[in-house]
């Protein structure tokens, strides 16, 4: 403050104050961290910087040492993943730790994890907050070690991928409160998981197994490891994607993001039959929190028929779980218009649901454009898409966003077109497998070459209902959530 106080003469004081203000604003901006997170009280050191008396080594034989108060893990050949685990067990907590890792070594922080005699001979398993110095950049993502695999891959949050820096100290913050597990690196939100499979366990620091001679001796370091278990409060909800595995449960952060349940797990409220006034009397049922379209012989809309939302949507984000039966065919359609009065399934764009292996439609169409997660009969999903088999749950996400404005010559002026919901993304199991842009000349040209060219304005609609398709095969739906992006 002295720079202001030294000089008290009118305009000069004003100038100095302004300059100091600008300088401070600049410093705060370049800092990039949320100051509120560091002002919390009630921290306890999880690691005293002197000994490992509160820890035990599990699962493997990589080396852990203490160097100037820093916990240092060093990779070794011929040993599985190694974990230095707390003897104490934790339920709800906030953990902060600084992490530095060499390039080429994967690592992670286990939370609410366990080693149980009756689970794979004591294999350490459970939530792992990723430490990933590779080009992939999934640090801060959540992996379910030796159990379900990736729960929160950082495809879901591309802004967070470049945040972690190999060879530098990075500050991790992990909040485990109730069914909410959230992570930050250097103040940037990385993952937001709602899951209740395991609510308690140890915390452990991983040295990953290595496969190549040149990885020997690579190190991962942890310091300033502190934990807080009392008076826990959620950090403010952010807008990053929420992976929520609890069926038909709208979490507070999903609610804050504007999501609403399109299926409450009990009733068919919010839906009706396509082209009908009411919900179909047969062909659909709700059982054990699951919305089920029944098997009826594999024909389009021959039994209960498609169902559509009562509401229309323009730009939106839809997420839901679905489970196919063997050989099943169904679909999630959007921008449905019933005005065409089709006798078969209602007309709209379709996120295809299909057992690609068994149902014959997967081999038909052009270039794979009738396979799972494709834009049906128009654009194939990426061939490397991650599909879970019939009988297993899959997660579908559909994002329709942004307004496109085209200008084209019209005499000496422009013809302007505004196109809502121009950008579309199809996601499958938390990975993006298809993106395209409506309202483009290429998209119109593609439709013109397809069977859809008989429907006026096909794919260029600006608003419409969502639809779940009855294709005569049994398919299960749950956790159907939608938010408007208008």
Residue 202's DSSP bridge partners are: 113
CA 450, CA 459: separation in Å to the nearest integer? 12
Q: Which of 414, 418, 484, 486 binds its own copies (CB under 8 A)?
A: 414
Residue 354: helix, strand or coil by DSSP?
Answer: strand
Q: Which of residues 67-126 bind its own copies (CB under 8 A)?
A: none
Shortest Å, Cβ 431 to its own copies: 4
Per-residue DSSP letters for 288-350? TTEEEEPPSSS-TTSSS--EEEEEEESSEEEEEEEEEPTT-EEEEEEEEE-TT--SSSPEEEE
SS (H, E, C) 401-413: EEEEEEEEEECCE
Phi-psi region of 327 (alpha: psi -120 to 50; beta: other; left: phi over 0): left
The Cα-based distances of 253 to 33, 179, 238, 240 in angstroms read 21, 12, 7, 10
> Closest CB to its own copies among 436 and 461?
436
CA 188, CA 139: separation in Å to the nearest integer? 11
Binding range to its own copies, per CB under 8 A, among 211-219, 245-253, 438-446, 471-479: 438-446
> Closest CB to its own copies among 9 and 343?
9
Q: Which of residues 7-66 bind its own copies (CB under 8 A)?
A: 7, 9, 12, 15-16, 18-20, 22-23
Tell whether residue 3 is a contact of its own copies (CB under 8 A): yes
Residues recorded for the chain = 486
Binding range to its own copies, per CB under 8 A, among 236-244, 309-317, 330-338, 432-440: 432-440
Tell whether residue 367 is a contact of its own copies (CB under 8 A): yes
Q: Which two tokens stand for residue 220?
A: 């991962």
Tell whether residue 434 is a contact of its own copies (CB under 8 A): yes
Q: Which of residues 124-143 bind its own copies (CB under 8 A)?
A: 136
Tell whether residue 153 is a contact of its own copies (CB under 8 A): yes
Tell whether residue 440 is a contact of its own copies (CB under 8 A): yes
393, 129, 351: which is closest to 245 by C-alpha?
393
CA 350, CA 466: separation in Å to the nearest integer? 10
Tell whether residue 455 is a contact of its own copies (CB under 8 A): no
> Closest CB to its own copies among 144 and 306?
144
Q: Which of 204, 433, 467, 482 binds its own copies (CB under 8 A)?
A: 433
Scan for tokens 């992490």, then name that residue. Answer: 99
Tell whether residue 378 is a contact of its own copies (CB under 8 A): yes
> Closest CB to its own copies among 84 and 156?
156
What is the contact surface with its own copies in residues (CB under 8 A)? 2-3, 6-7, 9, 12, 15-16, 18-20, 22-23, 136, 150, 153, 155, 366-367, 369, 378-380, 382, 384-386, 408-415, 431-437, 440-446, 448-450, 453
């Amino acid at each position: 403050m002295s720079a202001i106080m030294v000089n008290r003469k009118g305009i000069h004081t004003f100038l100095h104050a302004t300059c100091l203000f600008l300088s401070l604003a600049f410093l705060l901006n370049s800092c990039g961290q949320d100051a509120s997170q560091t002002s919390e009280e009630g921290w306890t050191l999880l690691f005293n910087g002197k000994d490992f008396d509160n820890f035990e080594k599990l699962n493997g034989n990589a080396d852990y040492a203490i160097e100037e108060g820093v916990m240092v893990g060093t990779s070794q050949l011929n040993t599985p993943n190694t974990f230095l685990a707390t003897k104490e067990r934790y339920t709800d907590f906030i953990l902060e730790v600084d992490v530095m890792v060499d390039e080429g070594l994967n690592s992670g922080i286990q939370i609410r994890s366990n080693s149980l005699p009756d689970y794979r001979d004591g294999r350490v398993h459970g939530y792992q907050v990723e430490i990933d110095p590779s080009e992939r950049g999934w640090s801060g993502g959540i992996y379910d070690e030796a159990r379900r695999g990736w729960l929160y891959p950082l495809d879901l949050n591309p802004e967070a991928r470049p945040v972690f820096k190999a060879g530098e100290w990075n500050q991790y913050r992990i909040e485990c409160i109730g069914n909410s597990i959230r992570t930050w690196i250097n103040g940037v939100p990385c993952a937001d998981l709602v899951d209740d499979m395991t609510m308690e366990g140890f915390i452990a620091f991983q040295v990953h197994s290595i496969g190549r001679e040149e990885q020997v001796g690579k190190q991962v370091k942890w310091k300033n490891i502190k934990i807080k278990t009392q008076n826990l409060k959620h950090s403010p909800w952010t807008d990053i994607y929420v992976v929520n595995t609890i069926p038909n449960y709208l979490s507070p952060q999903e609610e804050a993001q504007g999501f609403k349940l399109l299926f409450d797990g009990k009733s068919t409220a919010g839906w009706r039959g396509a082209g009908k006034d009411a919900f179909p009397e047969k062909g659909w049922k709700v059982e054990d929190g699951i919305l089920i379209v029944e098997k009826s012989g594999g024909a389009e809309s021959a039994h209960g028929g498609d169902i559509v939302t009562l509401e229309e949507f323009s730009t939106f984000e839809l997420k839901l779980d679905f489970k196919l039966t063997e050989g099943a065919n169904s679909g999630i359609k959007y921008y449905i218009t019933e005005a065409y009065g089709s006798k078969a399934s209602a007309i709209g764009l379709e996120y295809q649901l299909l057992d690609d292996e068994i149902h014959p439609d997967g081999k038909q169409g052009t270039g794979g454009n009738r396979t799972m997660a494709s834009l049906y009969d128009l654009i194939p999903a990426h061939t490397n898409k991650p599909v879970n088999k019939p009988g297993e749950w899959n997660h579908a996400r559909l994002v329709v966003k942004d307004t496109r404005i085209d200008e084209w010559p019209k005499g000496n002026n422009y013809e302007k077109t505004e196109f809502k919901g121009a950008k579309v993304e199809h996601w499958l199991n938390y990975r993006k497998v298809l993106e395209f842009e409506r309202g483009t000349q290429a998209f119109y040209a593609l439709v013109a070459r397809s069977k859809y060219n008989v429907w006026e304005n096909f794919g260029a609609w600006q608003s419409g209902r969502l639809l779940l398709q009855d294709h005569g095969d049994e398919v299960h739906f749950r956790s159907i959530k939608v938010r408007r992006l208008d």
